[in-house]
Chain A
Amino acid sequence: EPEVTQTPSHQVTQMGQEVILRCVPISNHLYFYWYRQILGQKVEFLVSFYNNEISEKSEIFDDQFSVERPDGSNFTLKIRSTKLEDSAMYFCASLAETNTGELFFGEGSRLTVL
C-alpha cells in the first residue's frame, strides 16, 4: 500500500537553529500539506501546496516557515530560526486530487526545541 514517509522521526535542536523536515508524498499525488500538533492539542493546518506553489497558509505559517518541493519527490518544511513554541509533532499529508478525499498522512516528525 502506498504511504507518505517523513524524516526524521524525532529531531532535537537548539533555539535559533534552522530545521528542515522532509516528506516523501505518494508518487501520483498532486496536493501536499503540513500540519502541526503541539503536545496535547489538536492538529492544526499550516500550509497546502499545489503545482509548485503555496495554495493556502494559516496564520501560524509566518515568515519563519517555508516549503518547497525541490526535486519533484521530496516536500520539505523549513523553520528558519526555531523557537521554543515550535516544539510539536509535524505531519505531512498528500492528496491524490480534490473531490476524492484520498488524503494520507505520514507518521509525523517530532521536533523538540531546547
Chain B
Amino acid sequence: AQKVTQAQTEISVVEKEDVTLDCVYETRDTTYYLFWYKQPPSGELVFLIRRNSFDEQNEISGRYSWNFQKSTSSFNFTITASQVVDSAVYFCALMGGGANSKLTFGKGITLSVRP
C-alpha cells in the first residue's frame, strides 16, 4: 500500500521568510514518482514538480527547491523569500510504477503568507 504523510497541517509565515513543507512517503515499488501540487483558493491543482525514484538530484526552480532523500523517504519542498501569492494548500503525492499507477495524495498543508 502507498501512503503519503504531510505532518504539518497549517503554516503561517511573514512575507520574505523561507518555509519548508515536509513530505514523507511509503511504497514498496522500486519505481515510483513523487509530485507536488499547489491548490490556490480557486481550486485547481497546479503542477509544481515530478521526480522519479531514480533521480535523487535536488532541484531548484526560481524560489522553489525540492530535497529528495530516498534514505528517509522524504521529498521536502522549500519556498525561499515567500510571497503573499504563495498562500495556498500544497499537496505532496505519490504514484507507483507499472500497473499501480494511481496517485495517492497527502492531506495537504495550508500555507498562509502574511504581508
A interface residues, Cβ below 8 angstroms from B:
31, 33, 35, 41-45, 48, 55-56, 89, 91, 93, 95, 98-99, 101-105, 107-108, 110
Query: How many whole Å from A68's CB to the nearest CB in chain B?
Result: 19
Structural contact, B95 and A103, CB atoms closer than 8 A: yes
CA distance A45 to B47 in the complex (A): 17
Structural contact, A48 and B102, CB atoms closer than 8 A: yes
CA distance A110 to B42 in the complex (A): 11
Q: Which of B35, B99, B105 contacts A44 (CB 8 A)?
A: B105
Chain B residues with CB under 8 A of A102: 50
Report 20 cross-chain contacts, Cβ distance below 8 Å, ordered by A residue.
A33-B102, A35-B103, A41-B107, A42-B106, A43-B91, A43-B105, A44-B105, A55-B99, A56-B102, A89-B43, A95-B101, A98-B99, A99-B98, A101-B52, A103-B33, A105-B47, A108-B43, A108-B44, A108-B45, A110-B43
**Chain A interface secondary structure, helix, strand, loop or mixed?**
strand
Chain B residues with CB under 8 A of A41: 107
Chain A residues with CB under 8 A of B107: 41-42
Measured CB to CB, the nearest residue on chain A to B108 is A42
Chain B residues with CB under 8 A of A43: 45, 91, 93, 105
